[in-house]
A and B are shown apart, each in its own frame.
Chain A
Amino acid sequence: MVLARTSGPTQPRPSLERVSTSRAYLDHAATTPVRPEAIAAMVPAMTETYGNPSGAHRLARDARRALDDARDVLAEGLGCGPGDVVFTAGGTEADNLAVMGVHGRHGGTVVCPATEHHAVLHAVERCGGRVVGVDASGLVDLEALADALDDSVTLVSVMLVNNETGVIQPLDPVADLVAELAPRARLHTDAIQAFCWLDVARLAARADLISVSAHKFGGPKGVGALVVRPDVSLAAQLIGGGQERDRRSGTQNVPGIVAMAAAARASIDTRTATGARIGALRDRLADGLVDAVAGLSETAVGPDRDRSHKVAGSCHVTVEGVETEALLVLLERDDVFASAGSSCASGAQEPSHVLAAMGVPRPVALGAVRFSLGWCSTEADVDHALQVVPAAYDRLLEFAR
């Protein structure tokens, strides 16, 4: 039995025979495999230094020391003092704490661009804030931002790297505008997608608050940090035992935090080499897809294929007429794992608010696929993807006609 079609191709369709037995995990922007260094650090924190770091006895002090060592690593990597690092249960909590914490303490108006992650965007909306537009490549529209800034603004949140497109947002022009037009305002940056690729300490030096998340750079899920500069006060969103200097109560996730620090250490130590290696792999993947798939367009990348404004692991493409959901099912069958870049709690693909804000037409946005490479991506991953992905596109384009 063959599924009937009212009108359709009679010519042979591209084959769906499995092309090889390898697999390509290309969803590092969603989450990364945990680095061996992180696992090695995590286990003794559960079996040996398992004390409560707030306690008084030796086992507690051992845990406290592990926590403080981890805090030092993060502080160095993020360009702040150890006392400025607030450990959280991940990136969403860090973003929420930045926005709702500052707004909760100081009131006023909070501002962000429309392309922020929902962890910021929904928090800004909850605080009744202002959302400003972006240009076609997703960079914040500085004129619109200027219009949104005034004395009432207490927080401006602009992400350093967009999680869908991988485009890097220079923060200096934003910080200049904030200093000039919103003197009360603090600048927050969501650096969650940036940390594994970029020197966040340098690029976010003018930010008052910085969010990071461990599982985006080879650490475990459920742990992150918010940098809070010494002169920034915020209202805690979790209250209780007063841990993290009253900015975030709750017994610290010591195993997660030491693993995050180990992953951060490894990430920072190998950052330059990894960026160069993965950037070359990404270019080969992106070039290969552009060359092989008719009508494929690389988001925020021009015909010169200059990708220097994106992080090294990011390859975001659209093909009008090919629906992401269908493509991902075909890719998964051949063990290529990618994503649309955005999905809802039910697991359904949602049209991207980021692409909408960039002015990408909805029918094009519905065909968006994000291939994201990471610290452990290999030549073989790209080889496998270039075997599988164009064939899947060909088949769906055949059916779309």
Chain B
Amino acid sequence: MKVLVAMSGGVDSSVAAALLAADGHEVTGVTMKLWGGASDTGCCSVSDVDDARRVADHLGIDHHVFNFGDDFERFVVGPYVVDHQEGRTPNPCIECNRHIKFDRLLERAAALDFDAVATGHHARVVRTGSGAPRLARGADRAKDQSYVLHMLSEEQLECLLLPIGHLTKADVRAMAERFGLRTAAKPDSQDVCFITSAQGRGAFLDERIELTPAEIVGTDGTRVGEVAGVQLVTIGQRKGLDIGGHPEPRYVIDVDVQGARVTIGSADELLTDSTLLSDLAWTGAPVRQPVLVQASAHGDVAEGTVVGTTVQWATRHRRIAPGQSLVFYAASNGEQVVVGGATADRPGD
């Protein structure tokens, strides 16, 4: 079949393209140019496009570059900034996948008469008993990316190929060597592609929004310090706050941007019985039984039950910063499969 494979210039998508070509598919590579600004590695630098192009040349497949910069600004960078401004902790990689890779790219692939889109994500598409597609964790649990792909609908999963989901990262690199791909030893990309490690999140946001000070208080309301940019503080944060000495570790347990107030508390005070949800979406039918909930890209899972617009934790759970995605997994045929997702909300918002 005719497959459009998204090639970032990294080893995973290089091997994905190689495997599809080896399977005899009619493969076309595409690199999405998303960000014109500074980037450590990201997905958009000319050298990454060159890597993707040269891998495509090596495989004998066509390669195009699509510029989705306008959409990236509109759906990823803009909301990322606004979220911070409003006291949320966004996950831009999820928004990029949602709006760019699996909205714009799928749409364009359809217009260009491709049968499927493939990516080099570490995740798999599996089938339920009734044959419906579900997203399952990649074979390499440490590299699993099902969290950032959780929003994919059944319809989208039907036309998605994840050729390396059944491989470990070590397998992928070994295959890249065997295919003779120049990206075999290329380091993994890290962090948010549009923020450089030299500049950092604070400086990036400082150029775009006004960072305002806030007082830091204890749970009893006593003032214990001050922070220069409340928009940069996130729930669960322990480091980087000037609050003097405390015998016990102190965590941020609430951030009120409007009220210019950050509340800190003990490890126990960080825990909560339930978390408020917004944008709750199930892949198939809503699940009333307990599910395994993951609240960060490579975090642990905890058991919880979705009741109305909250998740009730089986055992008290760390508070989750508003804006963070919660992904719900259920056990099926021995796999952990994504059954839904939501965004953590702030009580009172």
Contacts and interface: CB of A to CB of B under 8 A. Distances in A.
A3 B1 contact: no
B23 interface: no
Given A348-B67, A349-B67, A2 B115 contact: yes
B66 A325 contact: yes
A396 interface: yes
A97 interface: no
Given A326-B108, A346-B33, A348-B33, A3 B114 contact: yes
Nearest to B113: A16
Contact of B159 (A4, A323, A326, A348): A4
Nearest to B50: A346
Q: Which of B44, B69, B109, B111 has the most CB of A within 10 A?
A: B111
Contact of A4 (B49, B112, B156): B156
B46 interface: yes
A5 interface: yes
A5 B112 contact: no
Contacts of B155: 4, 6
B112 A345 contact: no
A3 B109 contact: yes
B134 to A, nearest CB: 15
B115 A399 contact: no
A347 B9 CA distance: 14
A399 B107 contact: yes
Given A326-B112, A395-B111, A1 B158 contact: yes
A175 interface: no
Given A16-B113, A346-B49, A349-B67, A5 B158 contact: no
Nearest to B159: A3
A32 B232 CA distance: 54
B11 interface: no
Interface string B83-122: 0000000000000000000000011111111111100000
Nearest to B63: A347
Interface string A1-45: 111111010000000100000000000000000000000000000
B65 A3 contact: no
B67 A5 contact: no
Contacts of A5: 107, 110
Contact of A330 (B53, B107, B112): B112
Given A325-B67, A326-B108, A395-B111, A2 B159 contact: yes
Contacts of A399: 107, 110-111
B64 interface: yes
Contacts of B111: 326, 395-396, 399-400
Contacts of A238: none
A333 B106 CA distance: 19
B64 A325 contact: yes
Contact-residue bracket for chain A: 20 to 34
B159 A1 contact: yes
Nearest to B44: A346
A350 interface: yes
Interface string B52-71: 01000000000011110110
A10 to B, nearest CB: 13
A335 to B, nearest CB: 13
A312 B64 CA distance: 30
A326 B65 CA distance: 10
A329 interface: yes
Contacts of B116: 1, 3
A188 B49 CA distance: 36
Interface string B302-322: 000000000000000000000
Nearest to B62: A332
A1 B112 CA distance: 15
Interface in A340-363: 344-351, 362
Interface in B121-160: 155-156, 158-159
A351 B69 CA distance: 10
A348 B66 contact: yes
Interface string A377-401: 0000000000000000001100110
Contacts of B106: 3-4
A396 B108 CA distance: 9
Interface in A301-356: 323, 325-326, 329-330, 344-351
Contacts of A396: 111
Interface string A102-123: 0000000000000000000000
Q: Which of A5, A345, A400 has the most CB of B within 10 A?
A: A5
Contact of B67 (A329, A345, A350): A350
B160 to A, nearest CB: 10
A367 to B, nearest CB: 13
Contacts of B64: 325, 329, 347
A139 to B, nearest CB: 28
Nearest to A366: B70
B46 A345 contact: yes
Given A325-B66, A348-B67, A395-B111, A3 B46 contact: no
A393 B64 CA distance: 19
Contacts of A2: 115, 159
Nearest to B36: A344
B100 to A, nearest CB: 14
Contacts of B67: 325, 344, 348-350
A311 to B, nearest CB: 27
Interface string A219-263: 000000000000000000000000000000000000000000000
Contacts of A345: 46
A349 B64 CA distance: 10
Contacts of B53: 347
A330 B112 CA distance: 7
A325 B33 CA distance: 12
Contacts of B66: 325, 348
For the complex of A and B, 6 pairs with smallest distance between CB atoms: A348-B67, A348-B33, A4-B155, A399-B111, A3-B110, A346-B49
Given A1-B115, A348-B49, A350-B67, 7 more contacts: A1-B158, A16-B113, A326-B111, A330-B112, A346-B31, A346-B45, A348-B33
23 contacts: A1-B115, A1-B158, A3-B110, A3-B114, A3-B117, A4-B155, A4-B156, A4-B159, A8-B110, A16-B113, A326-B108, A326-B111, A329-B64, A329-B112, A344-B67, A346-B31, A346-B45, A346-B49, A346-B65, A347-B53, A347-B65, A348-B65, A350-B67
Interface of B: 1, 31, 33, 44-46, 49, 53, 64-67, 69-70, 106-117, 155-156, 158-159
